[in-house]
């Protein structure tokens, strides 16, 4: 119930500020989570990214105004946050299949992207397997990528970083970071295997790191990153990457945290990728969240 209330407040805020520049940080606070967590939860629950939802709502309302009102296209474009009539026209045609100038014509078909509403669906209870552990800092090595708040808001996440990590040859290495860690340094091993870490930087942007726990020695061409010392709630999950991760991630922040007596202590998330078929419904993985007692 609390999650439904918070998400309804988020949608209310969007509707009340639909013609304003919406601050992603302010919206995330309504949901009582960080910007990265909120972007991931919103995309999973609603089915589209936060940016796409706002864009579709604005273009739906713009179409209604152009259909029934005596309003100039340029005024509608400015009202709904477009920098030029041309940019507005391109977005409008992409969604509605007609130009803004033709929206008022008889017989023209327009699309409506409705406001999201949330309802309770009673299902059988599904266990969440977790443990609480104290951890010293863990030094890791791999690929480190930066993302802006806008990229996170638009739904970019580990999937984008994973593609860079797997496929992009680093000029210094002459190979991908993944190949160096796997074949040259042989760092993929129990208990962490492959590890992904996301954190918020001081400037408000994000850092996404993928790699493995480091051993003693030098790793030319690779980046160092760290899982910080702290108390961690560690959740076991099963399912395809990234579908299973997003489902468990959403349950952690909407079900477990509100009722656990813990709260998130740092804006970090750790994901553990063991060996196996990551596209199998039976793939096992872990998500770690830093916590402290409320």
The 10s digit of each residue's pLDDT in 233-259 is 999 998 888 788 888 888 888 888 887
Bridge partners (DSSP) of residue 272 are 195, 286
CATH topology of domain 2-102: Arc Repressor Mutant, subunit A (1.10.10)
The answer to whether residues 20 and 253 touch, using CB atoms and an 8 Å cutoff, is no
Torsion (CA) 99, 101, 104, 109 in degrees, nearest 10: -10
Helix and strand tally (H, E) in the chain?
11, 9
Q: What is the pLDDT of residue 257?
A: 84
What is the DSSP-derived secondary structure letter of residue 114? P
Angstrom distances, CA of residue 55 to CA of 29, 48, 83, 84: 21, 11, 14, 15
**277 SS3 class:** coil
The sign of the torsion formed by the CA atoms of 186, 190, 191, 194 equals: positive
pLDDT band with cut points at 50, 70 and 90 for residue 152: low
Cite the DSSP H helix spans in 97-228: 149-153, 158-167, 177-179
pTM above 0.85, yes or no: no
pLDDT surpassing 70 at residue 122: no
Q: Average pLDDT in the 87-104 region?
A: 92
More confident residue, 134 or 44: 134
Q: What is the pLDDT of residue 63?
A: 92
pLDDT surpassing 90 at residue 93: yes
Prior bond of 206 cis (ω within 30°):
no
Share of the chain above pLDDT 70, in %: 92
Distance from C-alpha of 231 to C-alpha of 266, rounded to nearest angstrom? 10
Q: Average pLDDT in the 137-143 region?
A: 94
Q: What is the pLDDT of residue 212?
A: 96
Tell me which residue has tokens 């063991």. Answer: 274
Q: What is the pLDDT of residue 158?
A: 61
CATH of the domain spanning 129-293, picked from 3.40.50.1000, 1.10.40.60, 3.20.80.10, 3.90.1150.10: 3.20.80.10
Distance from C-alpha of 88 to C-alpha of 273, rounded to nearest angstrom? 42
pLDDT band with cut points at 50, 70 and 90 for residue 231: very high
Q: What is the pLDDT of residue 153?
A: 63
Q: What is the pLDDT of residue 146?
A: 82
> Which of 21-35, 60-74, 172-186 has the least mean pLDDT?
21-35
Q: What is the pLDDT of residue 157?
A: 60
Distance from C-alpha of 287 to C-alpha of 227, rounded to nearest angstrom? 13
More confident residue, 154 or 68: 68
Sorted by where each begins, the domain ranges of the chain are 2-102, 129-293
Bridge partners (DSSP) of residue 170 are 175
Averaged confidence pLDDT in the chain: 86
């Amino acid at each position: 119930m609390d999650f439904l209330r918070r998400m309804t407040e988020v949608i209310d805020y969007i509707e009340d500020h639909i013609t304003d520049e919406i601050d992603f940080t302010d919206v995330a606070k309504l949901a009582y989570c960080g910007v990265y967590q909120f972007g991931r939860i919103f995309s999973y629950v609603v089915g589209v990214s936060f940016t796409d939802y706002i864009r579709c709502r604005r273009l739906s309302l713009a179409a209604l105004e152009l259909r029934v009102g005596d309003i100039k296209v340029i005024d509608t474009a400015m009202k709904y946050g477009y920098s030029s009539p041309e940019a507005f026209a391109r977005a409008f045609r992409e969604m509605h299949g007609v130009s803004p100038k033709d929206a008022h014509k008889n017989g023209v078909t327009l699309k409506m992207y409705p406001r999201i509403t949330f309802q309770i669906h009673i299902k059988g209870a599904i266990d969440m397997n977790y443990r609480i552990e104290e951890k010293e800092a863990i030094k890791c090595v791999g690929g480190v990528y930066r993302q802006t708040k806008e990229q996170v808001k638009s739904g970019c996440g580990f999937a984008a970083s994973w593609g860079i990590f797997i496929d992009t040859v680093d000029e210094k290495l002459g190979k991908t970071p993944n190949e160096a860690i796997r074949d040259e340094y042989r760092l993929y091993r129990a208990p962490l295997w492959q590890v992904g870490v996301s954190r918020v930087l001081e400037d408000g942007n994000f850092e996404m790191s993928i790699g493995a726990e480091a051993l003693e020695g030098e790793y030319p061409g690779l980046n160092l990153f760290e899982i910080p010392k702290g108390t961690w709630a560690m959740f076991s999950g099963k399912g395809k990457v990234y579908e299973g991760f997003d489902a468990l991630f959403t349950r952690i922040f909407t079900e477990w945290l509100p009722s656990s007596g813990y709260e998130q202590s740092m804006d970090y998330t750790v994901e553990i990728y063991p060996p196996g078929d990551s596209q199998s419904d039976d793939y096992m993985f872990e998500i770690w969240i830093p916590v402290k007692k409320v």
